[in-house]
Structure 1
Amino acid sequence: MTDEMRQPLEETPEVADAIEDDVAVGAFITGGAPDSDNPEFLQPGEEPHVRTGADQPWDPEDLAVAEGRDPTPENVERARQELERDGAAAIERTVP
């Protein structure tokens, strides 16, 4: 065996290079925005903003497809009536 093969891993040039490398990996930089490692905490009494499916406009065709139906004229008409009758609740039942 040569000396290089018996050298402890901690003393290899590759490990030394890795330890000295303080450059951040761009893919892991969040820019300070909230993420799973840096969550945003709410102040006591502050309500969180929760986005739901009804936060955007829905066409009857969209609702019919979201419910798993083909956008046939009958299904689109049924979805139109549901949207007219129930409003956002029709969407919330399907896309919470």
Structure 2
Amino acid sequence: MHRLSGLTIAVLLAASPAFASSDEAWDEFAKEVEAKCLNTAAPNLENAKIAVDPFGSERFGLAILTGKAKGADAIVSYICVMDKQAGTVELGSELTADVVGVTVP
């Protein structure tokens, strides 16, 4: 019985940082993802719009960007991933409208 209780406590303690995050911290995180993703996509997109996952995954901030491809008339989208620990950002490959349809308000 003690072993199960210890395991339960360990799991709860490991999960507690996620519960301790404030709304302000999540808002700041989303703003960081937005700024970094827009900056990274700027060479590829004109008039980019972005939808940021407000929490991301356990390890990554996530966003979808859409806009006019620079030098073309096509509307394209990119998936943007920000490593939460390192703060580095990467874009996936260009996704055309026949592959994915994105509407960002």
TM-score normalised to structure 2 length: 0.26
TM-score normalised to structure 1 length: 0.28
Q: Which has the higher strand share?
A: 2
Q: Which has the higher helix share?
A: 1
Structure of higher RCO (CA pairs closer than 8 Å, 6+ residues apart): 1
Q: Which protein shows a greater Rg?
A: 1
